[in-house]
Structure 1
Amino acid sequence: MEGEIQALGELAKYDKGRPKPGGLEDLAFGSLAGMMGKFVEYPFDTVKVRLQTSESQVFSGTIDCLRQTFRNEGFGGFYRGLTSPLVGAMAENAIAFYAYNRIQSVIRTVTGAQDLNLGHLFLSGGISGAICAFVISPVELVKCKLQVENVRGYGHQQTANVVKTRFTGPLSVVTHLLRTEGVAGLYRGIGPTVARETLGVGFWFGAYEVVCRQILASRRRSKDDPLPPKDVLGPGSIILAGGCAGIAYNITSYPIDVVKSFIQTSDVRSAGSAQPAAAAESSPTIASTIRAVYSRGGIPAFYRGLGITLLRAFPANAAMFMTYEYLSRLSADLRSKNQ
């Protein structure tokens, strides 16, 4: 146990094999990593949001949601509303990696510790997540409305083409919100978004660092040897660590994400509901939303759609960390050659 605690204190040492990316590199590499991950995950995300926010009689499960979406909207239905979240993913990951590395520098300055422990890394991830929340909240609001709006006709012997949609794309959503609710309308659901990102991103970075450390620790000849640099990790190890990071993010923050999606799509869902009660609350609170979700099926209702979320979390996040790590290594190699 003592050796394990000591190893946690060495958690950041394996990053010393190459120079840390600069601020501009973090922004650029994080942006490209976000773009790669979003292309991989978006079809799964569409299914997730529709399962989270639709009545149980609309979709019997993940396979039924996949089948109905393809039947009514074709393959393009899985990418409806992609533009906004693609830009958001690029911005989110750019800020996440930039803030994560800068916050670690602040912690080193404040504490005087050069080798950060696990708690410091989780804290760095959590703070970076809270910052990201204010960037991605309007993006996710637009995304969720576009993903859910077409579902109003499902389960009523109609196709999506029969149902008249209010929004034609991200710009029409933004224009409508600004006209009807002002700038505040773009931040509906900001509370749950901040909570989700603070918790989720803390575990995202934390899980990635822990898995990397465990792999590197297994390669030491003796437990007293220092951890090897992260540079020695190959694609398989980074894919494993990145995939585990994505799973950790979603398992820890998923119920909060359900509440967030429910709040952000309340007006879209009520517009197509035949039940007056569904439209009774146009601006639901977090407490009323929790009660409403619970009334749909108890605790399991907060995890509806988790299966497909975990299915896409592994490859999407593996792609993100692979992109970031190898771009960072390429940059470090180029700088070394130019010196």
Structure 2
Amino acid sequence: MTEKPLPFVYQFAAGAVAGVSEILIIQLQGKPIPGQDYYTGMADCFKKIVKNEGPSRLYRGIAAPIMMEAPKRATKFAANDSWGVFYRRLFGVEKPTQPLAILTGATAGATESFVVVPFELVKIRLQDRSSAGKYNGIVDCVVKTVKAEGPLAMYNGLESTLWRHILWNAGYFGCIFQVKALMPKVDPKKEKGRAMFTDFTSGAIGGTVGTILNTPMDVVKSRIQNSPKVAGSAPKYNWAWPGLGTIMKEEGFAALYKGFLPKVLRLGPGGGVLLVVYTGVIDWFRKMGAQPVA
């Protein structure tokens, strides 16, 4: 029997704890810059960054993702659970199904995007070699971006971010549902170890599949957000799907998966960590007397 979800505030808090835990456990890794041929691979990227710029360069811009993870992951899980309740009521379904898991995940991803975009834009501009020297930190980046490009510039790349998170969350939550359905049933109250293994496995597979699905949109999004808007001229990368076409035409299909390896090595197991921590915190809230949604 599926337990009824807790109120939004508990889901949000559990998601926030899970997000911060993922960042602390799965360390952020530097990634090659889109269109940059200087690095031949992940190992070469690390070696050259440390040699030429020092170890601290690997963590430039890390404050932005750390600040982002709490609200981002909190929104992801809270929105997924809340939309799940909404869709089950809308379609008159008592229990979650595979199609509903995918639909709910996609909708949660769209919701999450509105929280993520400003943080992502700052992170990308701070981490990019060509523009990092322009900014002295997060606040300076925000101030200079708004001053030069206007307040709406903080939401530059919203459309591509929507697609990125819709695809990742649909794959993530859809896979979690399917993998759990295929694995042996466990009683989380009596078999905590096996329950955690099931959560980690399904979350890791979901994170991997989600990353495979959304990496091309992530590449396009980074290029859009790192292209300052100049009055009187149209940016090369402006919209997601035309941007995909431009990259494939000029650089080939493989260019859509630049930086895939370090990303999947983080988001694959990271997806497992997220689900384990989120489930654990929700269970703790239940033990503390939190009442489910009626």
1:200-221 deviations in whole A, cap 9, x for unaligned?
1111111112222221xx34xx
Q: Aligned match of 1:85 in 65, 69, 87?
A: 65
Contact 2:13 2:74 in 1 (8 A): yes
1:295-310 → structure 2 map (5 Å cutoff):
295=249, 297-310=251-264
- Alpha-carbon deviation of 1:164? 8.1
Match of 2:152 in 1: 184
Instruction: Describe the shift of the 1:321–1:184 C-alpha distance in structure 2 as closer, same or farther (beyond 3 A).
Output: same
1:65-107 deviations in whole A, cap 9, x for unaligned?
1112222333322221112222222111111111111111112
Identity of aligned residues (%): 23
Q: Which amino acid aligns with 1:36?
A: S
Match of 2:137 in 1: 169
Q: In structure 2, how many angstroms separate the alpha carbons of the residues matched to 1:266 and 1:64?
A: 26
Q: Could you tell me the TM-score, scaled by structure 1's length?
A: 0.77
Q: In structure 2, how many angstroms separate the alpha carbons of the residues matched to 1:171 and 1:21?
A: 36
1:1-339 → structure 2 map (5 Å cutoff):
13=1, 15-16=2-3, 20-41=5-26, 43-44=28-29, 46-47=30-31, 50-51=32-33, 53-56=34-37, 58-148=38-128, 151-152=129-130, 165-215=133-183, 218-219=184-185, 232=191, 233-267=194-228, 282=235, 284-286=237-239, 289-295=243-249, 297-335=251-289
Q: In structure 1, how many angstroms separate the alpha carbons of the residues matched to 2:200 and 2:14?
A: 17
Q: In structure 2, how many angstroms separate the alpha carbons of the residues matched to 1:208 and 1:169?
A: 37
Q: Could you tell me the TM-score, scaled by structure 2's length?
A: 0.88
- Alpha-carbon deviation of 1:40? 4.0
Q: In structure 2, how many angstroms separate the alpha carbons of the residues matched to 1:116 and 1:241?
A: 16
Q: In structure 2, how many angstroms separate the alpha carbons of the residues matched to 1:120 and 1:206?
A: 8
- Alpha-carbon deviation of 1:327? 1.0
Q: Which runs of 5+ in 2 are unaligned?
A: none
Q: In structure 1, how many angstroms separate the alpha carbons of the residues matched to 2:132 and 2:83?
A: 47
Q: Which amino acid aligns with 2:125?
A: K
Instruction: Describe the shift of the 1:39–1:293 C-alpha distance in structure 2 as closer, same or farther (beyond 3 A).
Output: farther
The alignment of Structure 1 onto Structure 2 pairs a total of residues equal to: 284
Query: Helix, strand or coil: the match of 2:120?
Result: helix
Query: Greater Rg, structure 1 or structure 2?
Result: 1
Q: Which amino acid aligns with 1:284?
A: Y
Contact 1:266 1:282 in 2 (8 A): yes
1:258-299 deviations in whole A, cap 9, x for unaligned?
10011111349xxxxxxxxxxx86463236633542355300
- Alpha-carbon deviation of 1:229? 5.1
Q: In structure 2, how many angstroms separate the alpha carbons of the residues matched to 1:109 and 1:43?
A: 39
- Alpha-carbon deviation of 1:27? 0.8
Q: In structure 2, how many angstroms separate the alpha carbons of the residues matched to 1:293 and 1:203?
A: 24
Instruction: Describe the shift of the 1:261–1:41 C-alpha distance in structure 2 as closer, same or farther (beyond 3 A).
Output: farther
Q: Which amino acid aligns with 2:265?
A: L
Q: Which runs of 5+ in 1 are unaligned?
A: 1-12, 153-162, 220-227, 269-279
Q: In structure 2, how many angstroms separate the alpha carbons of the residues matched to 1:236 and 1:247?
A: 16
1:217-267 deviations in whole A, cap 9, x for unaligned?
x34xxxxxxxx5555443222221111111011001111111001111134
Q: In structure 2, how many angstroms separate the alpha carbons of the residues matched to 1:111 and 1:137?
A: 31
Q: Which amino acid aligns with 2:64?
A: S
